[in-house]
Amino acid sequence: ESIIASPEVVHYVCKRFGIHMSKKLGQNFLIKRGVVDEIVHAADLNAGEPVLEIGPGIGTLTQGLAQSGADVTAIELDRRLLEVLDTTLAAYDNVRIIHGDVLKLDVPDIMNHKQFKVVANLPYYITTPIIMSLLESRLPIERMVMMVQREVALRMVAKPGTKDYGALSVAVQYYTEPDIVMDVPPKAFLPAPSVTSAVIRCVLRKEPPVDVVDEKLFFRVVKAGFEQRRKTFSNTMKTTGLSKEEIEMILEKANIDGQRRGETFSLQEFADVANAWHSIK
Ligand code: SAM
């Protein structure tokens, strides 16, 4: 039984420990049992399986994860919450709390270099840096199930040519297969955030969906493609430092019309450009 996930208990716990939620640290605690259950379900956890929770807060979601029998490691930055977590998670011997900043800690080391899953109700002020650093680190992650702002979830699943499509869409779709599990209204949190949230599940791919010879080059092209959204792709490619002639040669080789805008390019087209660039180097 999850015991914290209700408005009354979250109020009680915060009052008892004198916790004032910090806006700066993105502290919006879940108060709906149903949402905790959906997140745990989407994580598809097995007993003994390593799972990393980012930002356990007062332990609401952590309890749900612990009850699945998974081997839970939770990283929390706010020192004040450590004694709260000691109490709310006292009944579970399969939870380990680590104090620190998830962006600064040595995550592979903490997870013993084994495959793991990530589950989190993310602090919204650093959503994108956390997701990008997890993806780029190439850690052996099986999936990530995360609460994010709905607007960010839409960017992660966006298709070429839509207003939400950007560098985040390409990176997420290159490394994972993302899908939105559910929308979550502000009233599922205490305090209620100003925006609607969503739970997104990103299952890591075993193989990239397109052939890329040089990933660094691929992501440079993607970055350039979205750098100046109003410009043609030929023009915005100049931000990479290539000359006009080199860009023309690359586009011809890739068989791409440089008058198009980068935001209409599929992953395959970005890969074609990057591979053409690689071949003339
Ligand atoms: N998991 C809890 C829940 O669902 O109720 C709390 C989620 S709250 C949105 C985000 C949590 O992340 C807060 O507890 C906050 O203190 C923590 N946090 C913020 N920045 C962090 C960081 N850089 N590293 C680790 N935790 C962080």
Distance from residue 123's CA to the centre of ligand 1 (Å): 5
Two tokens, residue 19: 């916790």
pLDDT score, position 1: 55
Question: Which residue, by CA, sits nearest to atom 21 of ligand 1?
Answer: 77
pLDDT score, position 199: 98
Distance from residue 142's CA to the centre of ligand 1 (Å): 21
Atom of ligand 1 nearest to the CA of 55: 12
Residues contacting ligand 1 via CB (< 6 Å): 25-30, 54-57, 60-61, 75-78, 101-103, 121, 123, 126
pTM (predicted TM-score):
0.96
Q: Return the HEC string of 175-238.
A: HEEEEEEEEECHHHEECCCCCCEEEEEEEECCCCCCCCCCHHHHHHHHHHHHHCCCCCHHHHHH
Taking the chain (281 residues) in consecutive chunks of 10 residues, what is each chunk's mean pLDDT?
84 93 95 97 97 98 97 98 96 98 96 96 96 93 98 98 97 98 97 97 97 97 92 95 96 97 97 97 87
Pocket test for ligand 1, best of 33, 58, 77 (most atoms within 8 A of CB): 77
Burial class (CB in 10 A: 0-12, 13-18, 19+), 244: exposed
Question: Which residue, by CA, sits nearest to atom 17 of ligand 1?
Answer: 55
pLDDT score, position 228: 86
pLDDT score, position 2: 58
Instruction: Note whether 150 and 54 are within 8 A (CB).
Output: no
Question: Which residue, by CA, sits nearest to atom 19 of ligand 1?
Answer: 25
Q: Is the peptide bond before 191 cis (omega within 30 degrees of 0)?
A: yes
